[in-house]
Structure 1
Amino acid sequence: MEQAALKKMRTKQIAISNLFVGLMIIIFFMLIQIVKIQLTHFLFCLGILILIQGILGFIRKGTTKSFIPILEQVAIYEKEKLGKEWEKEKRLDHVWKIILSVIMFIQSFTLQNVDNAFSDVDPALIIFLFLMVLAILNISMLFRFRKIDRSTVGELTGYTKESNIMAIALGFFMAIVIFIFIVIFILP
């Protein structure tokens, strides 16, 4: 793929990803504030959705189909570029979705006796978390684009393992940053 077309495709991918995450966060907070959905019900429904995604991913393995045409184009490009690593990455992605759904179910059942704490959440925390999610999404996408777009198929061997280790490390770092933000700004 030539450089101009690749840049245009990646720009559209970033825009759609940011729009999707922004809409999901807005829907999440509307459900909490307007519909007054309980945290346990929300986590349970979210766990079901993520579990369905993971199971469907295993059933439809190897497919690049997507409802959004640009994401299908990206999947086709990355499948060509990554080769066997793409299959490994998708399989591991589905495993992580199933693990995440189990965590959501566990949280749903453990928090059944807790009052709905979302109504008491400070708006500063909500804005901070929203900005953190967008920052993590964009930074991780830019690193991914750089690694995939500038490499050849042979150079991408082991990419899945490397990217998952980096994701886990980044997750721990972000958890620490969020914890520090809560302790400094929210708790006092």
Structure 2
Amino acid sequence: MNSIQSMRRKQLVYTNFLLVLSVFIYFITINILKLQMGLFFLSLGIIIFVQSIYGLLKKNSTKSLIPIYEQVAEYEKEKMGNEWYRQRRMGFLANLVLSGIMFFQAYVNRASTDNMSFLDLRFMLIMMAILLITVNIGLFFHIKKVDRSVSIVDFKGYTCKSFSIAIVVGLVMGVLFTSFTLFFLFISATLSRSQSF
């Protein structure tokens, strides 16, 4: 039991650290390169698409560059049975759909001259906080479900249920992200106009 708790703590630490690091590097890159809206969504789409294809090519392998994730995958694969395979496939397919949405946004914003360099520290911290809260809540419920289950039967229908919730949360996140982005674009444009007078 202690080894499982230790594994889960490491999983949470690594997940949060990598999430913060990835967001920080991405937003710094955006500000340095001054990516326009179209290129911003295109780059996101490419990253998600590559991750999806890599996951599909791995199929059911638990191998990972980060040992703790490999350990978690092996543990959950053994405990969840067939539902583990379904969850992985659904995850990769969901990422493919998400990459398609990003490519569509890139196409819609292809003529936009607005760039993402307006993103400041406040914006990054707000978005990071929302992302961290959402990811950690989802991870908490997943860990609770897996660790407290005593039989493979307990996971019947788990993938469909969890992905239905994920879709709703994803839509809410999308609305929040779009709202914050438009708000900061509006503020940035207003400040630029006021400084020009």
Taking structure 1 as the reference length, the TM-score comes to 0.87
Partner of residue 66 from structure 2, selected from 68, 73, 84: 68
CA–CA separation in structure 2 for the residues paired with 1:109 and 1:183: 18
Match of 1:158 in 2: 157
Listed as ranges, the matches of 1:81-96 within 5 Å are: 81-96=79-94
Query: CA offsets per residue over residues 52-98 of structure 1, 9 Å max, x none?
Result: 22222222211101000000000000101110001001111111111
Match of 1:143 in 2: 141
Contact 2:83 2:159 in 1 (8 A): yes
CA–CA separation in structure 2 for the residues paired with 1:87 and 1:178: 31
Match of 2:191 in 1: none
Letter paired with 2:10: K
Contact 2:34 2:116 in 1 (8 A): no
Deviates more, 1:110-119 or 1:172-181: 172-181
State the aligned residue count: 186
- The alpha-carbon distance between structure 1 residues 116 and 97, as it changes in their structure 2 partners (threshold 3 A), is same
Letter paired with 1:44: L
Letter paired with 1:18: N
Contact 2:27 2:119 in 1 (8 A): no
CA–CA separation in structure 2 for the residues paired with 1:167 and 1:74: 20
Q: CA RMSD in A?
A: 2.4
Match of 1:129 in 2: 127
- The alpha-carbon distance between structure 1 residues 60 and 43, as it changes in their structure 2 partners (threshold 3 A), is same
CA–CA separation in structure 1 for the residues paired with 2:131 and 2:29: 19
Measured after TM superposition, the shift of residue 182 of structure 1 is 7.7
Q: Does 2:97 align with 1:99?
A: yes
Query: CA offsets per residue over residues 96-133 of structure 1, 9 Å max, x none?
Result: 11111111111112111112342334643332111000
Q: Does 2:83 align with 1:78?
A: no
Identity of aligned residues (%): 35
Taking structure 2 as the reference length, the TM-score comes to 0.84
- The alpha-carbon distance between structure 1 residues 134 and 162, as it changes in their structure 2 partners (threshold 3 A), is same
Deviates more, 1:34-43 or 1:89-98: 34-43
